[in-house]
Amino acid sequence: MATVRTIASHVWPLGTTFDEDDVLQLGGCDARELAREFGTPAYIVVEDDLRTRARAFLDAFARHADDHEVHFASKSFPCTAVLRVMAEEGLACDVASGGELALALRAGFDPARVHLHGNAKSEQELRDAVAAGIGDIVIDNLDEFEKLERVIEPGSRQRVLLRIAPGVSPDTHPKISTGGPNTKFGFSIRDAWAAIERAEASDRFALDGLHMHIGSQIFDLEPFRAALEAMAQLGEFRTWNLGGGLGVAYTHEQKAPSIEDYVRTKVELVEEVIGPGRRIADEPGRALVAHSTVTLYTVQSIKRNVATWVGVDGGMSDNLRPMLYGARYEAHVVGKPGGGTVCHLTGKHCESGDVLVHDADLNDPRPGDVIATPVTGAYGYAMSNNYNGVPRPPVVFVKDGDARVVVRRETYDDLFGRDVDPDA
Ligand SMILES: Cc1ncc(COP(=O)(O)O)c(C=O)c1O
């Protein structure tokens, strides 16, 4: 009987273990076998991790707020199978484009429990959303009012929220700070008064409340207070949507607030700053999906220069976050836990910036070794691309020792699948 021990670090998906040979087991599946069967790079998603975190959000809100709605921010992992899990677990859905709306509908979300965001929605996206019977449209700017009015049938009203930028910047990377004094998102407090007046004056809108999303990867929850205090002056509304933002630990020394702490803090702040009995909506993305996923790579080359460079078969085409905003990850040689070789884990792309992990500490990496990088569920698949003609990796769900492909690997045919042949 094999003995297994649970990996201590909280960065791995829930239920992750090592077997007796120190080989990583994800959702009961051997990581080396997953790499052999599905190839690398591959996104391995532990389904139980997704479901457990979805339930944790729902349970925490049920404990703390009578009237609430938890939306999955689909941008964080816009994959039908992931969306389907969130729909099955009873979450609502936040989409930020016509494409994300199409994915949400395909995954089975009730359109009445979907809402549409975006700072540059097209009239067609608004038309499609209204035609689908979307729950809320979150109006972002003055130009959107007329566009939206044009696509709403006379005599009917579309429920809307107004996105407000409360002028508060949490402690996070500037590129994912979205509610400060000079942001492209939403109405400033100064402009919010006119926006509220405009929405209330229209016979096509039913203004239900206000929305804010101050940023992402937030560890310190205190800025939510200042943000709500800024919003509170804008008046009485039924719904207060507080956006997402809960940060996650990408490395073992980081410790993020728990889902329970985040939800309790937000609910208490609404009760204290806005008042009791409000409908509270939230839109977590990262904290729902980040930990569910581990990306597997294979080492292709090792170069000893001033530093040691370990090259793998993926990179900025499957995880753009390190290059976009210096996001930090850990890496692990499957079957060889621990460290000893400090090296840069690089991708295969033609950019010097294509480094997945600077100063990774790996245990004697060799060509052919499988490398695992945890916490890649959020905004990895979402921002994947075909730079250098690299086909995008598959998404593989693992659960109770079984693995199933939910998105197949792209092929070279996919790379020219949209070409229009001039002779055809
Ligand atoms: C409007 C809005 N809501 C929710 C989210 C999800 O944020 P997070 O993944 O940090 O929870 C985002 C992320 O950018 C967003 O822009």
Is residue 3 over pLDDT 80?
A: no
Whole-number pLDDT of residue 180:
75
**76, 121, 241: residue to mutate for ligand 1 pocket, most atoms within 8 A of CB:** 76
Ligand 1 centroid to residue 246 C-alpha, Å: 9
- Out of 9-23, 30-44, 210-224, the most confident range is 30-44
Q: Lowest-pLDDT range, 35-39, 254-258, 318-322, 420-424?
A: 420-424
Residue type, 219: F
Strand, coil or helix: 91: coil
| Closest-lying ligand 1 atom to the alpha carbon of residue 283 | 4
- Average pLDDT score over residue span 318-334: 96
Residue 227: count of CB within 10 angstroms of its CB: 26
Contact 49, 15 (CB under 8 A): yes
Segment 171-191 shows an average pLDDT of: 83
Ligand 1, residue 211: give the atom nearest the CA.
Answer: 1
The candidate with the shortest Cα–Cα distance to 365, out of 299, 304, 303, is 299
Mean pLDDT, the chain, rounded, equals: 95
Protein residue whose Cα sits closest to atom 4 of ligand 1 = 244
Residues with CB under 6 Å of ligand 1 are 73, 75-76, 94, 117, 178, 213, 216, 243-246, 283-287
Measure 336 CA to ligand 1 centroid, in angstroms.
36
| Identity of the amino acid at 362 | L
pLDDT band for 8, please (50, 70, 90 cuts).
low
Residue 239 clears pLDDT 90, i.e. is over it:
yes
Residue spans of beta strands (DSSP E) within 148-268: 158-165, 187-188, 205-211, 239-241
pLDDT, tens digit (0-9, with 9 covering 90-100), for 365-395: 999 999 999 999 999 999 999 999 999 999 9
More confident residue, 145 or 184: 145
- pLDDT beyond 80 at 284: yes
79, 93, 343, 350: the catalytic one is 350
**Phi/psi zone of residue 28: left (φ > 0), alpha (ψ -120 to 50 degrees), beta?**
left
- Taking every pair of C-alpha atoms in the chain, what is the biggest distance, in angstroms? 71
Q: What is the pLDDT of residues 108-117, one digit of tens each?
A: 999 999 999 9
Between the alpha carbon of residue 277 and those of residues 59, 115, 239, 272, the distances in Å are 18, 22, 10, 11
Q: Does 260 score more than 60 pLDDT?
A: yes
The rounded Cα 366 to chain-centroid distance in angstroms is 32
Q: How many CB atoms lie within 10 A of CB 377?
A: 32
**Token representation of residue 99:** 């494409």
Structure tokens at 374: 């945890």
pLDDT at residue 47 above 90? yes
Q: What percent of the chain has pLDDT over 70?
A: 98
Question: What would the mean pLDDT of 182-197 be, rounded to a whole number?
Answer: 93
Go through the domains of the chain in sequence order and give each one's CATH number: 4-47+290-415 (2.40.37.10), 48-289 (3.20.20.10)
- Going from the Cα of 6 to the center of ligand 1, the distance in angstroms, rounded, reads 31
Residue in 283, 324, 375 to alter for ligand 1 test, most ligand atoms within 8 A of Cβ: 283
- Tell me, yes or no, if 350 is annotated catalytic: yes
The number of the ligand 1 atom at minimal distance from the alpha carbon of 286 is 9
How far does the chain reach from its first CA to its final CA, in angstroms? 61
What is the pLDDT, as a whole number, of residue 175? 77
In this prediction, residue 1 has a pLDDT band, given cuts at 50, 70 and 90, of very low
**Residues facing residue 357 across a β-bridge:** 345
Measured torsion, CA atoms of residues 217, 280, 179, 273, in degrees rounded to the nearest 10: -110
The confidence band for 241, taking pLDDT boundaries of 50, 70 and 90, is very high
Q: How confident is the model at residue 167 (pLDDT cuts 50, 70, 90)?
A: confident
Q: 136 C-alpha vs ligand 1 centroid, how far in Å?
A: 16
pLDDT tens-digit readout, 124-149:
999 999 999 999 999 999 999 999 99
- CA 132, chain centre distance (Å): 24
- The predicted structure's pLDDT at residue 278: 96
- Other Cβ atoms less than 10 A from the Cβ of 133: the count is 12
Instruction: Please count the other Cβ atoms lying within 10 Å of the Cβ belonging to residue 231.
Output: 26
Q: Which pLDDT value is given to residue 257?
A: 96
374 CA → ligand 1 middle, Å: 21
Task: Report CA(260)–ligand 1 centroid distance (Å).
Answer: 18
Q: Ligand 1, residues 216, 248, 325: which to mutate, most atoms within 8 A of Cβ?
A: 216
pLDDT tens sequence across 69-110: 999 999 999 999 999 999 999 999 999 999 999 999 999 999
